[in-house]
Amino acid sequence: MKNIVLASSSKYRQAILSKLQLKFTSVAPDVDESEITGESPQDLVVRLAEKKAKAVAHNFPKSLIIGSDQVAVIGNQILTKPGSFDVAKQQLTIASGKSVIFFTGLCLYNAITKRAQVDCVPFKVHFRNLNEQQIVNYLQAEEPYDSAGSFKSEGFGISLFKKLEGDDPNTLIGLPLIRLIEMFSNEGIQIP
């Protein structure tokens, strides 16, 4: 079996990939994640997922490299990782009673053949109507400042939702495993 590399330092993506019981190395890619003017959220995450995978290929020339990137979108506004309580509170206030679509870009790059399989996997979250105190309580309890959209669905963040729509719950956390398994199969790796 080829070496598998996750081009991410995200502990969330590492935990998700561990579900497949594969040995892998995790490496942070050095990539400029700036948007290109006029670029759609879907094009952004696909471009960055592929860019992240290819960014580490020179150090892992005989490997399959996984790149992933995610944005949350409400209306036409991209919700980034908030980084602070105030920004997270603002994001959750905007999301209250609305639907947020998460677009997760996924790339499986074969460094030997230079073949890149890329896809964008959507996942929709419908938020409950939240009052200010509920938002504050949640943020103080979980501090999701490193998560796009200001919540962690795998934790207490589930209390913010009324409905989830998508094919793979792992997508919401940042790594669509069902689609990744299909990509591995295309490379001759069967799981299980």
* Domain span including residue 167: 3-186
Domain assignment of residue 192, yes or no = no
Tally the domains of the chain. Answer: 1
Domain assignment of residue 22, yes or no = yes
Residue with tokens 């998560």: 147
**CB atoms closer than 10 angstroms to residue 145:** 14
CATH of the domain at 165: 3.90.950.10
Domain assignment of residue 68, yes or no = yes
Give the pLDDT score at 81.
Answer: 86
Please pick, among 30, 32, 43, 69, the residue that the annotation labels catalytic: 69
pLDDT averaged per 10 residues, the chain (length 192): 90 95 96 92 96 97 96 88 95 96 96 98 97 97 91 90 95 95 96 89
Domain assignment of residue 131, yes or no = yes
User: Which pair of structure tokens corresponds to residue 36?
Assistant: 């290109």
Q: 59-68: string of b/e by CB count within 10 Å (b at 16+)?
A: ebeebbbbbb
Nearest Cα to 115, choosing from 58, 50, 175, 60? 50
Give the pLDDT score at 1.
Answer: 56
User: Which pair of structure tokens corresponds to residue 58?
Assistant: 């020179």
pTM (predicted TM-score) = 0.92
Are 47 and 75 contacting, i.e. CB atoms less than 8 angstroms apart? no
Give the pLDDT score at 90.
Answer: 96
Rounded-to-integer distance, Cα 152 and Cα 146, Å = 9
| 81: Cβ contacts below 8 Å, ≥ 6 apart | 145, 146, 147, 148
Three-state SS for 89? helix
Domain assignment of residue 118, yes or no = yes
Domain assignment of residue 191, yes or no = no
Rounded-to-integer distance, Cα 129 and Cα 97, Å = 4
Give the pLDDT score at 80.
Answer: 81
- Tell me if residue 146 is catalytic: no
